[in-house]
């Protein structure tokens, strides 16, 4: 229990950084599930060296604090490619040098060929992505890792939206993260969650952030798990 305050601080700092960087925005956004969400998280907007480096630091610190044991990182195309590279650099800087690999969307038919690029995929492999929306990317990654003869050992993401997944237009009882955990028995390590986002909004005095809070709370009450 002694590390809980540090964990909370890390999450709060991350949410503040995401808002500052305009990666986390408030308004009205349509999700892949067709819901109107009062917030939108777009990790593609960590789009310069300083922001990407800071993002990598949050991932690395969360992973080290989690105690999760892994031998290498795997980044599913496309967002996962940049994340795997950046986080491996930061882990090495912190004394945890890990190889990384990623996949191509289309198999290469010349040179070394195949769909996997980077270090040989072996041992305990940690999948890195920005969020888990439908779990499709995770499922595909698990298949590629197993096909290479390695063992998927977990998933790390930036934000856990903690909302019900959808199937055939119906709300599921569990979130996509919970489904991944249940179906594959894999731990999911998130830098921050929707609960952390609510905690951040609870203590803000900025008018725009104060105004955003009721809509986020209502969304959580309707779709949250």
Asked if pLDDT for residue 3 goes beyond 60, the answer is no
- pTM of structure: 0.92
pLDDT band at 170 (very low <50, low <70, confident <90, very high): confident
**Residue of higher predicted confidence among 32 and 17:** 17
Per-residue pLDDT tens for 195-210?
999 999 999 999 999 9
**pLDDT at position 52:** 97
**Residue of higher predicted confidence among 64 and 111:** 64
Asked if pLDDT for residue 222 goes beyond 70, the answer is yes
Mean local confidence (pLDDT), 70-92: 96
Mean local confidence (pLDDT), 74-79: 94
Asked if pLDDT for residue 134 goes beyond 90, the answer is no
**pLDDT at position 114:** 67
Asked if pLDDT for residue 2 goes beyond 50, the answer is no
**pLDDT at position 5:** 46
**pLDDT at position 33:** 80
pLDDT band at 108 (very low <50, low <70, confident <90, very high): low
pLDDT band at 1 (very low <50, low <70, confident <90, very high): very low
Residue boundaries of the structural domains of the chain: 4-223
Give the per-residue SS3 of the chain. CCCHHHHHHHHHHHHHHHHHCCCEEEEEEECCCCCEEEEEECHHHCCCHHHHHHHHHHHHHHHHHHCCCCCEEEECCCHHHHHHHHHHHHHHHCCCCCCEEEEEEEEECCCCCEEEEECCCCCEEEEECCCCCCCHHHHHHHHHHHHCCCEEEEEEEEEECCEEEEECCEEEEEEHHHHHHHHHCCCEEEEEEHHHHHHHHHCCCCHHHHHHHHHHHHHHHHHEC
- Catalytic residue ranges: 108, 110
Pick the CATH number of 4-223 from 3.30.70.260, 3.20.20.70, 3.40.50.2020, 3.40.50.2300: 3.40.50.2020
Q: What percentage of residues in the chain have a pLDDT greater than 70?
A: 93
């Amino acid at each position: 229990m002694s590390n809980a305050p540090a964990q909370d601080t890390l999450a709060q700092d991350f949410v503040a950084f995401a808002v500052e960087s305009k990666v986390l925005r408030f308004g009205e956004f349509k999700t892949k599930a067709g819901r109107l969400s009062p917030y939108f998280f777009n990790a593609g907007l960590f789009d310069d060296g300083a922001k990407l480096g800071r993002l990598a630091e949050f991932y690395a610190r969360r992973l080290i604090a989690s105690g999760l044991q892994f031998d290498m990182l795997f980044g599913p195309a496309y967002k996962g490619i940049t994340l795997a590279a950046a986080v491996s650099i930061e882990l090495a800087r912190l004394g945890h040098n890990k190889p990384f690999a990623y996949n191509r969307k289309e198999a290469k038919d010349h040179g070394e060929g195949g769909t996997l690029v980077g270090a040989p995929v072996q041992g305990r492999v940690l999948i890195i992505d920005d969020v888990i929306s439908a779990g499709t990317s995770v499922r595909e990654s698990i298949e590629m890792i197993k096909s290479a003869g390695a063992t998927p050992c977990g998933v790390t993401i930036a934000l856990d939206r903690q909302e019900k997944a959808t199937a055939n237009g119906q709300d599921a009882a569990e979130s996509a993260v919970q489904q991944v955990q249940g179906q594959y028995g894999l731990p999911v390590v998130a830098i921050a969650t929707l609960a952390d986002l609510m905690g951040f909004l609870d203590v803000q005095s900025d008018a725009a952030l104060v105004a955003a809070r009721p809509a986020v709370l209502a969304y959580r009450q309707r779709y949250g798990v």
